[in-house]
Chain A
């Protein structure tokens, strides 16, 4: 039979090196960076004024709870057109307002956001007042913060009816019933309740965090937006042990599907074809397992058309010794695992992968990928010297549908180690290159400014009236180099993170007019012509470009 590693075999892992080490220290010296490649980043959090840091203070061993969490968001909470930053983790939250010059000011104190045992964040204007609201997930805590304007947020959780959550993880604002209002899906992880459930487990000769198999799963909850600031939970039972959530148009149905990346449980792909009943087609779609039907430790999930066939494909990051799964969308709700043939899977196997996303970093028209990793056992080196709690970031360049890892030639990425969890994507400095924000569970947050060689580009934002002001869930299509590229406007995806709600097109060498087609969530289709590349445009359902800003 096909050889298979015993996954998450906690009790089988052996004791090795017994020396105590700084948990965030890498296992080996970082390899020497290669000469600069086409995709490059600079690590600029400190210069940019982001001093958010998470830490367990060197305590060890940590529990499964203590090694979980760490969310990041790019959001424009003050509606000035510049992306601000939100970071959330255990007992800390940080809100940073863009100063519109690549720097940020810490405005947490005045914001009204409280520090609790947060896991991650979601962003979306659920009440349609034009201001981006925030949901924070957490362990025995969660909060819906309504954006009051002026940098102030109010906790409206109870009034909004968001309840019944025990250990919430990733969340997503999306219009799942196509009524024009943003609903909220909140995933949950597992039932961790010491002393009724174990805090720590014996792993070989070492005591360490227990694996997820030790605990019972918790199902997520789907809250439908009923208007007037209220939500109503609908009957829902998913597989549970979820880290990552994605609400995306993965099937041919008009309604978006919900994909849940579950930890050592089959992945869920929920579709609602009729508007009445949700159905989990994960197993039958081929997205619940790896290529041979094995369970995987699903962590983050994102969608993007990596092979430029017009359909959104899927990526799910996974646990150590499992290749991250890339699922090619074959239409009709069927997917094929292409991690091997695309070259994407094998280099991911040595790490415990978390936040990820499809982004065209070098604006060549092909979606690349970035992935943050970090082990889930802080003292992993005590029983496996080849592993470390902090792990490298990885960047994959898409070369006509095949992925090449270019991390060592990607500037700051080459030497960066982190206990990586949530990663948010957005163009915070508005230079047309999408940047990344990584939440490190044992260190300072990492802001990666994209300094890649860039082709021409186009950024598309949407503006709609009604409750879904940013057109979350819309598909934007643009003909580039003879093929029609498709991008989805949403804030959800990845893990514990929220992204800039924009469609970014890398145009390569293409200049001149660009004809855009927008498929709005409610089914309307509009077209617009943009005079040229290297600008950010805002489109409305009437087909007009509301504003056009030329950059580059």
Chain B
């Protein structure tokens, strides 16, 4: 019986070989055809890809591949290839999202908005674009719109923990506590031990008066991610702001120790130490730390308040008065800044409001924030006299960069 099967087996083997050869040929043909371009370009070195594009400037797939590869590495050079790819096909969601993310990272918000908006319009269920657009809105303080994006992302992909996490962040800012808690619950259902989710849950709980569970979540996050600075700082802050007694202060001290070990140059470490000692009533020690904190983090108003209160306890009246004056002046400015921001939330293209915001931020000594506001205003109307006034103060290149708009 075996001998009788040989010719059949041979035929099968021959047929198989032929098929394999055909398949290989087809694969090779596909690989070098336009359809195989993505795979081909993925395997090419960046230098080869660039060289290829010199000869094929309208090869959308090559631009796309180059742009996305560079963007993945966080390379600013990704912009040009992504722009080229986007120009050739504005409906490509990955390209639009990559370009939007890059523009967002470099602070060109109006253009990032245009690109991401287009991505979402062409591909309403492309989650990454929704997430990026949500981030953009959040950065502008438009939490209402950010929520829309994250809600859509979470609806399309309910297992996307980041969407729920971001949603919770927005709700927290909007003081919608119940929704923030629900979003956090969904995020933690997906990844119960995600330290950033736990850390945000801690903030949400603390902000709604659920101090016990908030502190528990913050401690859990800190134990899961002992080397994450943000998480350790969050634990220290929550314990100091909501301390229930000496036990919490001891735990805060440990967290502050961890912060100091992780980031010896962390600018608020003296403030945390000073606040801890202030809460313990160790006024002399607190004063020393807080004086250092004023030097390390002069833009933080809480530092002046703590030092002012500490000086009062030490009966150092003149110094207390000086600190009080600084604190109250800064707080009044902050109050005005908050009010302008609220007004901008409802009228986000109002250049006059931006001009007022810039003026207040400069008076508060927060040049970085003022520059951000100037950039936002310059993107709306760079010719507005109120904006020109500030742009003229900047070096030419910087002013030009701020006013560069979407093509």
Contact = CB atoms under 8 A, between A and B. Distances in A.
B175 A321 contact: yes
B345 A12 contact: yes
Contacts of A293: 301-302, 304-306, 309, 327, 331
Contacts of B306: 292-293
A202 B344 CA distance: 12
Interface in A428-461: none
Contacts of A320: 175
Nearest to A28: B178
A1 interface: yes
Interface stretch (B11-19, B204-212, B377-385, B399-407): B204-212
Interface stretch (B42-50, B108-116, B240-248, B359-367): B240-248
A349 interface: yes
Nearest to A295: B335
B270 interface: no
Nearest to A345: B209
Nearest to B243: A340
A227 interface: no
A2 B237 contact: yes
The SS class assigned to the A binding surface is loop
A386 B173 contact: no
A369 interface: no
Given A12-B342, A323-B209, A348-B209, A334 B313 contact: yes
Given A213-B342, A346-B209, A1 B328 contact: no
Given A320-B175, A340-B243, A11 B147 contact: no
B343 interface: yes
B290 interface: no
Contacts of B206: 3
Contacts of B176: 13-14, 16, 384-386
B241 A291 contact: yes
Given A13-B175, A293-B305, A350 B209 contact: yes
For B174, B175, B301, B309, which residue has the most chain A Cβ atoms within 10 angstroms? B175
B143 interface: yes
B302 A11 contact: no
A15 B203 CA distance: 23
A350 B335 CA distance: 23
Given A6-B173, A320-B175, A346-B210, A11 B240 contact: no
A10 B242 CA distance: 26
Nearest to A281: B312
Interface in A313-349: 320-321, 323, 334, 340-341, 343, 345-349
Interface stretch (A147-155, A282-290, A487-495): A282-290
B69 interface: no
B345 A284 contact: no
Of B313, B320, B345, chain A has the most CB atoms within 10 Å of the CB of B345
A6 B209 contact: no
Nearest to B172: A5
Contacts of B177: 321, 350, 386
Contacts of B207: 3, 5, 321, 349
Nearest to B339: A213
Contacts of B170: 14
A205 interface: yes
Contacts of B52: none
A543 interface: no
Contacts of A14: 143-144, 147, 170, 174, 176
Given A283-B328, A293-B331, A386-B179, A12 B242 contact: no
A350 B327 CA distance: 28
A204 interface: yes
B179 A341 contact: no
Contact of B174 (A9, A213, A347): A9
Interface in A104-146: none
Nearest to B309: A286
B246 to A, nearest CB: 9
A8 B341 CA distance: 12
A334 B283 CA distance: 14
A155 to B, nearest CB: 39
B338 interface: yes
Interface in B246-271: 268
B346 interface: yes
A334 B312 contact: yes
A7 B173 CA distance: 9
Nearest to A214: B339
Contact of A1 (B147, B300, B320): B300
A286 B283 CA distance: 15
B141 interface: yes
Nearest to A323: B209
Interface string B161-196: 000000000101111111100000000000000000
Given A7-B338, A286-B309, A340-B242, 8 more contacts: A1-B237, A11-B342, A14-B143, A14-B176, A293-B327, A345-B209, A384-B176, A385-B178
Top 8 nearest A-B pairs by Cβ distance? A293-B305, A386-B178, A11-B345, A349-B209, A346-B209, A11-B346, A14-B144, A11-B342
Interface of A: 1-3, 5-16, 201-202, 204-205, 211, 213, 264, 266, 283-284, 286, 289, 291-293, 295, 320-321, 323, 334, 340-341, 343, 345-350, 384-386
30 contacts: A1-B237, A3-B241, A6-B173, A9-B174, A11-B343, A11-B344, A12-B174, A14-B170, A16-B179, A204-B144, A213-B339, A284-B312, A286-B309, A286-B312, A292-B302, A293-B302, A293-B304, A293-B305, A293-B309, A320-B175, A334-B312, A341-B245, A343-B244, A349-B208, A350-B209, A384-B175, A384-B176, A384-B179, A385-B179, A386-B178
Interface of B: 141, 143-144, 147, 170, 172-179, 203, 206-211, 234, 237-238, 240-245, 268, 300-302, 304-306, 308-309, 312-313, 320, 324, 327-328, 331, 335, 338-339, 342-346
